[in-house]
Amino acid sequence: MSQFQTTMISDAERDTRTVRQADRQKHKTDRQTETAWTERALAESYPSTYPEKLSCSTCVCARSPALLHPFIHPRRKPSRGSHSHNTPTNIQHTHTHSHTHTLSLTRPLSSVTMSNSQSWVPVSPKSHFSLANIPFGIISTKSDPTHRPAVAIGDHALDLRAFAKAGGFHALPSVQERIAVFSSPTLNDFAALGRPVHRDVRSYLQSILSDNTPHAGLLKDNAALRKTALVPLAEVRNHLPLAIGDYTDFYAGKNHAYNLGVLFRGPDNALQPNYVHLPVAYHGRASSVVVSGTPIRRPWGQILKDPKAEPKVPVLAPCERLDIELEMGMFMCRENALGEPVPVDEAEDHIFGYVLMNDWSARDIQAWEYVPLGPFTAKNLGTSISPWVVLADALEASKTAGIENTTELQPYLRESRKNNVLGVQLEVDIITASGNKTTISRTNSRNLLWSWPQMIAHHTITGCNLRPGDLLGSGTISGTEPGSEGSILEQTQGGKQTVKLSGGEERKFLQDGDTMVIRGWSGEEGALVGFGEVSGTIEAALKLF
């Protein structure tokens, strides 16, 4: 290599490092700006919740940005003679006689302030879309087919384009130069703004929709805007919330992996040796990810009717062993540079939010094709997701421990935070063509061996660049008890048993006309943080010949 070439490479590397350092500095500045704005905005939005001064027997402390910020927890070691108390907002406030303070939230501000708040919009206690949630989606209406962003509150959608055009965001400084994102046909532009902006917008909308809103004139008392911007959910059409560039499906549900391993390899070899060392995954098909309510056509494919026959010759036929996979999906919001892995403890900053997911699976097609490279056409027939994206902050209070992994992990997978798996209640219903409805599974999303940050860290350890709008799937989530399986394949032991349905019907696998419905939520009635549902109905295979 010539000296000239070496100099060019060195210059290129130096330029790349400069750009990356600038990106990191910008991210740091954004966080500092967010802290300053949060202090102002929450003081305006919740004057009764955040008093100007907090008093105790030792000292009087002026309000701190840390006190008002949901996820920045500065900690300073207090001197001797310190004491603690809880403020009305459950913020632990430690004082010292030398006036050194430690301010840290005992739980996220959103759950503290919103769990006991009511909205002026009617919200049923059992609604998944409480004031504590505020999920984002893309809607259209019969009168206006244009795709545009909205949030769900109770049985209504707040049209963010209409709200923004009417000046609804004028009291939110952090989005003034970015207001166009609320007219975009997808949430990609909004997602790409990053977690601080997502947090700002969600908190602001919570204050707008709160019964004691300090901005009543913007929407609550504005009858004309309410008529155009607040639309019943029954009158909106939902669309894919983001344009999905890439889709990767993980296999993090250890119980599901074990159950299938027992079926195909026996209990002694149920899990492959690599399973506890890394989050296994495959690349799915982004183009066939569809929004809830989209019908799923029974696929054709190559099927080996008799695995014991010799020679092994498949037939081309419609799938006879069509199945579901109960999963959760996660959307990315931040891009990492090609060649730069995302550290596991920084991965949370890359998460936009979550959806429910059904990864439809053609088991008989999969059995023939998956050797040696894994599933292909058995999985690309369709993947259904729920329409409303529940932001990462809204689910912070649901974080819990996942399935324990006693294996010593590689350094890039070791998390500082231990309870880093979502605890979302999940249910699966089957509604047959005759209208009979049966709940066939109840489980919880904590049944994962790997957390979302670990999945991101592993996905990017090679330097793979993830982008805003990329979708990651958790893998099938199954519990350990009967009735907690995330697939029919598990429930029927590979089709050897039947699932008993109401009305006397039975299933070994899905039939034409069957509708599968998945629901998920966390929290308690009155402050549920839920996803609504994801559903899909099986249509008969096309007649190809």
Least confident segment among 38-42, 260-264, 405-409, 510-514: 38-42
Q: What per-residue confidence (pLDDT) applies to 20?
A: 54
Same structural domain, 378 and 460: yes
Same structural domain, 61 and 193: no
Count CA within 13 A, CB hemisphere, residue 220.
Answer: 17
Q: How confident is the model at residue 117 (pLDDT cuts 50, 70, 90)?
A: confident
Do strands 383-385 and 289-291 pair parallel, antiparallel, or not at all (unpaired)?
Answer: parallel
pLDDT digits (tens, 9 = 90+) for 150-161: 999 999 999 999
Identify whether the C-beta of residue 337 lies closer than 8 Å to the C-beta of residue 465.
yes
CATH number, position 383 = 3.90.850.10
Asked if residue 112 belongs to a domain, the reply is no
Q: What per-residue confidence (pLDDT) applies to 17?
A: 53
Q: What per-residue confidence (pLDDT) applies to 107?
A: 35
With 70 as the cut, is the pLDDT of residue 14 above it? Answer: no
84 strand-pairing partners: 94
pLDDT digits (tens, 9 = 90+) for 279-298: 999 999 999 999 999 999 99
Same structural domain, 251 and 235: no
DSSP string over 297-363: EPPEEEE-S-TTSSS---EEEE-SSEE--EEEEEEE--PPPTT-PPPGGGGGGGEEEEEEEEE-EEH
Q: What's the domain range around 520?
A: 247-539
Q: How confident is the model at residue 232 (pLDDT cuts 50, 70, 90)?
A: very high
Same structural domain, 58 and 200: no
Last residue of a domain, which of 106, 141, 170? 106
Number of domains present in the structure of the chain: 3
Same structural domain, 355 and 401: yes
Q: Is 195 annotated as ligand-binding?
A: no
Asked if residue 545 belongs to a domain, the reply is no
Q: Is 408 annotated as ligand-binding?
A: no
Last residue of a domain, which of 239, 256, 282? 239
Asked if residue 25 belongs to a domain, the reply is yes
322 burial (CB, 10 Å; 0-12 / 13-18 / 19+) is buried
pLDDT digits (tens, 9 = 90+) for 483-492: 999 999 999 9
> What is residue 84's DSSP assignment?
E
Comparing CA positions, the residue from 424, 248, 455 lying closest to residue 350 is 455
Average pLDDT of the segment spanning 466-479: 99
Q: Is 249 annotated as ligand-binding?
A: yes
Average pLDDT of the segment spanning 423-440: 98
Separation CA 466–CA 471 (nearest Å) = 9
Alpha helix positions (H), 363-496: 363-369, 452-460, 488-491
pLDDT digits (tens, 9 = 90+) for 104-116: 333 333 443 454 5
Q: What per-residue confidence (pLDDT) applies to 71?
A: 31
Residue 97 is a catalytic residue: no
351-195-46 Cα angle (round to 5): 130
Asked if residue 62 belongs to a domain, the reply is yes
pTM here? Answer: 0.82
> What are the distances in angstroms from CA 188 to CA 333, 389, 464?
8, 12, 19
Q: Is 327 annotated as ligand-binding?
A: yes
Identify whether the C-beta of residue 252 lies closer than 8 Å to the C-beta of residue 279.
yes
Q: What per-residue confidence (pLDDT) applies to 184?
A: 99
Separation CA 538–CA 513 (nearest Å) = 5
Same structural domain, 59 and 34: yes
Same structural domain, 267 and 392: yes
Q: Is 379 annotated as ligand-binding?
A: yes
Biggest CA-to-CA distance, the chain: 86
Same structural domain, 78 and 159: no
Asked if residue 114 belongs to a domain, the reply is no
3-class SS at 113? helix
Asked if residue 544 belongs to a domain, the reply is no
Same structural domain, 254 and 212: no
Q: Is 265 annotated as ligand-binding?
A: yes
CATH number, position 225 = 2.30.30.230
Comparing CA positions, the residue from 135, 104, 132 lying closest to residue 116 is 132
Cis ω on the peptide bond leading into residue 343 (within 30° of 0)? no
Q: What per-residue confidence (pLDDT) applies to 205?
A: 99
Same structural domain, 60 and 179: no
Asked if residue 472 belongs to a domain, the reply is yes
Q: What per-residue confidence (pLDDT) applies to 22?
A: 58
Looking at the chain, the whole-number percentage of residues with pLDDT higher than 70 is 79
Same structural domain, 51 and 177: no
Last residue of a domain, which of 106, 135, 165? 106
With 60 as the cut, is the pLDDT of residue 97 above it? Answer: no
Average pLDDT of the segment spanning 357-361: 99
Same structural domain, 159 and 179: yes
Q: Is 412 annotated as ligand-binding?
A: no
Comparing CA positions, the residue from 431, 396, 419 lying closest to residue 519 is 431
Q: Is 359 annotated as ligand-binding?
A: yes
Choice among 95, 101, 128, 256 that is catalytic = 256
Asked if residue 532 belongs to a domain, the reply is yes
Q: What is the mean pLDDT of the chain?
A: 85
SS (H, E, C) 479-512: CCCCCCCCCHHHHCCCCCCCEECHHHCEECCCCC
